[in-house]
Amino acid sequence: MRKIIIAGNWKMNKTLDEVNDFFKGISEWEKDFEHRCQILIFPSNIYIQIALKMLDENNIDIGVQNIYYKDFGAYTGEISPKMILSIGSKYSLVGHSERRNIFHETDEEVNLKVKSLISNGVNVVMCVGETEEEREAGKTEKVLEQQLNYGLKDILPPDMKNIILAYEPVWAIGTGRTATPEIAEQAHKFIRDWISQKFGKNIAAEISILYGGSIKVSNIRDLIAQEDIDGGLIGGASLKLEDFKEIIKISEKNINRQ
Ligand code: PEP
């Protein structure tokens, strides 16, 4: 049975005091709440060690928002999979649309990052998703196929157990315009079918595919009830402790399977 994951992408947000407050609040709550889904948070890199320390006794995973694909060297400003592993973090986001659009990250770089993370034993959350223009031009599936094809190039079936996918339509990220459950499910099904063709039915049945794009307390229920939606990658709403907890609670009650 595939994992249900509720992940928070904090992007470039929160001061140290705010980080402390959030982790204090979530760690107390999480200890008393018997949850069935995996909780994963991607704070800014400078808070990773604090997060790991504060959540040491909790069942919450901490990941980084981005890595560079080399191990060490003269790459000013970058961090590597080996570095994050050495401090105890085992997850990284790859290919978020903000990395692709603002920092001009290409599909080829996405693939180099995925391969570097996998070869170092770090779990990957790889994001794919079409822009509004691409959707309106009827190119959604073509774009998803291209991002999957490039991003997962040279990845072998056994590596897929360390990969989580996130469908994040660019037009829904940070805009307040969530994809309808039907639109999201259609894209998730397309992605799962693509995985099935490329890696086989069993791997497709096991891989978690998260939806991301303006998830809120008010819309998580219907999204999570879809057959191929295995959780959420949440930006804005993950910054507010009460909203994030509520999203986790609603998800657990409305998952479409036991
Ligand atoms: C994201 O950044 O991955 C995201 C989905 O953001 P938001 O929830 O704010 O749309």
Give the model's pLDDT for residue 94.
98
Give the model's pLDDT for residue 236.
97
174 lines ligand 1 (CB under 6 A): yes
Number of domains in the chain: 1
> Has residue 162 been placed in a domain?
yes
166 lines ligand 1 (CB under 6 A): no
> Has residue 258 been placed in a domain?
no
How confident is the model over 169-189, as a mean pLDDT? 96
81 lines ligand 1 (CB under 6 A): no
> Has residue 122 been placed in a domain?
yes
At 258, the pLDDT band (50, 70, 90 cuts) reads low
Residue 214 sits in which domain range? 5-253
Proportion of the chain above pLDDT 70, given as a percent: 99
- CA separation for the pair 51, 43 (Å, rounded): 8
Using the mean position of ligand 1's atoms as its centre, give its distance from the Cα of residue 74 in Å. Answer: 32
Amino acid (1-letter code) at residue 8: G
Residue 66 has pLDDT above 80, yes or no: yes
Give the model's pLDDT for residue 254.
82
Contacts of 86 (CB under 8 A, 6+ apart): none
Residue 63 has pLDDT above 70, yes or no: yes
Looking at the CA of residue 166, tell me the nearest atom of ligand 1. 3
> Has residue 108 been placed in a domain?
yes
Ordered DSSP codes for the chain = -PPPEEEEE--S---HHHHHHHHHHHHHHHHH----SEEEEE--GGGHHHHHHHTTTSSEEEEES---SSSSSS-TT---HHHHHHTT--EEEE--HHHHHTS---HHHHHHHHHHHHHTT-EEEEEE---HHHHHTT-HHHHHHHHHHHHTTT--GGGGGGEEEEE--GGGTTTS-PPPHHHHHHHHHHHHHHHHHHH-HHHHHH--EEE-SS--TTTHHHHHTSTT--EEEESGGGGSHHHHHHHHHHHHHH-S--
> Has residue 161 been placed in a domain?
yes
**Cβ proximity of 52 and 91 under 8 Å:** no
Is 190 buried (19+), middle (13-18) or exposed (0-12) by CB count in 10 A? middle
- Per residue in 9-51, pLDDT (tens digit) is 999 999 999 999 999 999 999 988 877 899 999 999 999 999 9
The tokens for 140 are 């959604």
- Per residue in 124-139, pLDDT (tens digit) is 999 999 999 999 999 9
Closest by CA to 184, choosing from 130, 223, 148, 156, is 223
**How many CA atoms does the CB half-sphere of 183 hold within 13 Å?**
16
> Has residue 73 been placed in a domain?
yes
- CA separation for the pair 175, 171 (Å, rounded): 7
Give CA separation, 107 vs 96, 97, 171, in Å.
11, 11, 19
Give the model's pLDDT for residue 257.
65
Using the mean position of ligand 1's atoms as its centre, give its distance from the Cα of residue 213 in Å. Answer: 5
- Which CATH number covers residue 157? 3.20.20.70
At 255, the pLDDT band (50, 70, 90 cuts) reads confident
Query: Which residue is closest in CA terms to ligand 1's atom 1?
Result: 235
Q: Phi/psi of residue 5, each to 5°?
A: -125, 130
